[in-house]
């Protein structure tokens, strides 16, 4: 269901456009109509961002590309594939892309008769960066112009693999992606797949090291247990010999007692 037309248009007419779309969908797809009816009117800062894909699609493409490269650089630094200088270059490109998109969004507000203040400007900047570096659903909404709320920046996510973009978006930004060098191998990966393989290799190496440590600890515990068992077995052997001697002594004492009784009876 394409709702881009709902968000791209005068902000004051949003409710009217939503009502018309609900009425249109109700005849053919009641469930979709119910979903659209729950879509909320975006804040003015978000509305400005939603207008960018129409007349400034190149800015959004560059922003999403820079965001993807920054996420990869963060992950690669954590994996030891790249250094802090590589990350600084990637985040610098992201910062420039965000600022260019902010200027375009402010222009959209100004042309619509809105005078953006410092807080609106800050919210636009924060939402643009958060969407470019966030989850796949946020990136998709930024690209299609269907964001419906402000976002907060939470870094570049964890160092693990990020969610995949939809194929159409991935195909658009792929030619603009940077190539990541591999210091360990001296070769240059030709695309994102090579970077994933390198990250996976480092993770596999760490996993093997952890398993080796666990195996060594288990072997040391087994040897200690064997030594204790041998010691206990030796002690048990000594105790068994002492018991045999004691039993023999008891039998001898009992025989002497019987002989004494026999002599007394006579």
CB-based contact 107:116 (threshold 8 Å): no
Q: Quote the distance between the C-alpha of residue 214 and its chain's center.
A: 26
187: β partners: 182
112 Cβ neighbours under 8 A, 6+ residues apart: 10, 11
pLDDT at residue 184 in the model: 47
The closest of 169, 153, 56 to 102, measured between CA atoms, is 56
pLDDT of the chain along its 266 residues, tens only?
Answer: 678 889 988 999 999 999 999 999 999 999 999 999 999 999 999 999 999 998 889 999 999 999 999 998 998 888 888 888 989 999 999 999 999 999 999 999 999 888 778 999 999 999 999 999 999 999 999 999 999 999 997 655 444 456 788 888 889 998 888 876 554 444 444 444 455 565 566 667 656 665 665 666 667 667 767 777 777 777 778 778 888 888 888 888 888 888 888 888 87
pLDDT at residue 156 in the model: 54
pLDDT at residue 47 in the model: 95
Reduce the DSSP state of residue 241 to 3 states and report it.
Answer: helix
pLDDT at residue 201 in the model: 66
Using a cut of 0.85, tell me whether the model's pTM lies above it.
no
Neighbour tally for 17: CB within 10 Å: 16
Long-range contacts of 174-177 (CB under 8 A, 24+ apart): 176/61, 176/62, 176/65, 177/65, 177/68, 177/69
* Sign of the CA dihedral with 161 first, then 98, 5, and 45 last: positive
pLDDT at residue 215 in the model: 67
């Amino acid at each position: 269901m394409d709702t881009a037309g709902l968000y791209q248009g005068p902000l004051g007419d949003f409710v009217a456009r939503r009502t018309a779309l609900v009425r249109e969908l109700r005849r053919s797809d009641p469930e979709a109509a119910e979903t659209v009816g729950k879509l909320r009117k975006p804040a003015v800062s978000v509305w400005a961002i939603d207008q960018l894909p129409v007349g400034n699609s190149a800015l959004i493409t560059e922003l999403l590309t820079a965001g993807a490269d920054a996420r990869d650089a963060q992950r690669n630094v954590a994996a030891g594939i790249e250094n802090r200088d590589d990350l600084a270059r990637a985040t610098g490109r992201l910062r420039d892309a965000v600022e260019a998109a902010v200027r375009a969004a402010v222009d959209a507000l100004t042309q619509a008769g809105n005078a953006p203040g410092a807080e609106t400007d800050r919210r636009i900047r924060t939402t643009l960066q958060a969407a470019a570096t966030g989850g796949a659903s946020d990136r998709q909404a930024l690209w299609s112009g269907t964001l419906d709320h402000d976002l907060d920046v939470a870094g570049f996510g964890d160092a693990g693999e990020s969610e995949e973009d939809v194929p159409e978006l991935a195909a658009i930004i792929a030619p603009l992606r940077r190539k990541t060098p591999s210091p360990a191998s001296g070769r240059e990966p030709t695309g994102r797949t090579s970077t994933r393989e390198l990250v996976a290799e480092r993770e596999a190496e760490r996993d093997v090291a952890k398993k080796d440590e666990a195996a060594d600890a288990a072997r040391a515990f087994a040897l200690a247990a064997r030594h204790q068992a041998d010691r206990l077995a030796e002690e048990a052997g000594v105790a068994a010999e002492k018991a045999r001697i004691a039993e023999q002594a008891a039998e001898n004492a009992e025989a002497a007692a019987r002989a004494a009784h026999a002599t007394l009876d006579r």
